[in-house]
């Protein structure tokens, strides 16, 4: 079992470009969660998805950010028109059920906006 796979590990974007972060959950896990960690801060919840559905997006910025988890393929966190303040580590976690027991995190994608 390869665990939660995130790619790319590092992503550099110029201001105004789009960033796409991918997350493949553990085998058998149908619940995906995205978190953002700004430098020297704790992780902040962004969004919780179950296959094809957004369950909780209370932590997502209202503009420029979107997430999806299609029936086939990885979950995608998309950031449009990136700004320097979007520079952070973005972590994905998956779980087998909605209770969140057995959360497993990926290694993260480090986004740098120049």
Partner 1 sequence: DAKTTQPPSMDCAEGRAANLPCNHSTISGNEYVYWYRQIHSQGPQYIIHGLKNNETNEMASLIITEDRKSSTLILPHATLRDTAVYYCIVRVAALGTASKLTFGTGTRLQVTL
Applying CB under 8 A, the site for partner 1 has a residue count of 31
Closest approach, Cβ 53 to partner 1, in A, equals 11
Q: Which is nearer to partner 1, 10 or 15 (CB)?
A: 10
**In contact, 108 and 33? CB cutoff 8 Å:** no
**Using CB under 8 A as the criterion, what x/- string covers residues 45-64 for binding partner 1?**
x--x------xx-xx-----
Which residue lies nearer to partner 1 by CB, 1 or 14? 1
Work out whether 88 is an interface residue with partner 1 (CB under 8 A): no
Show Cβ contacts of residue 61 under 8 Å, excluding neighbours closer than 6 positions: none
- The distance of closest approach from Cβ of residue 56 to partner 1 in the complex, given in angstroms and rounded to an integer, is 4
Indicate left, alpha or beta for 85 from its phi (over 0: left) and psi (-120 to 50: alpha). Answer: alpha
Decide if 87 contacts 15 (C-beta within 8 A). Answer: no
The yes or no reply on residue 100 touching partner 1 (CB under 8 A) is yes
Alpha helices, DSSP H only, in the chain? none
């Amino acid at each position: 079992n390869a665990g939660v796979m995130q790619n790319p590990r590092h992503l550099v974007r110029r201001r105004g470009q789009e960033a796409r972060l991918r997350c493949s959950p553990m085998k058998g896990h149908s619940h995906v969660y995205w978190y953002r960690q700004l430098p020297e801060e704790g992780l902040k919840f962004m969004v919780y998805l179950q296959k094809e559905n957004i369950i909780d997006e209370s932590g997502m910025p209202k503009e420029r950010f979107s997430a999806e988890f299609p029936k086939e393929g990885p979950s995608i966190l998309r950031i449009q028109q990136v700004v320097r303040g979007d520079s952070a580590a973005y972590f994905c976690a998956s779980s087998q059920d909605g209770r969140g027991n057995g959360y497993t995190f990926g290694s993260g994608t480090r986004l740098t906006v120049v």
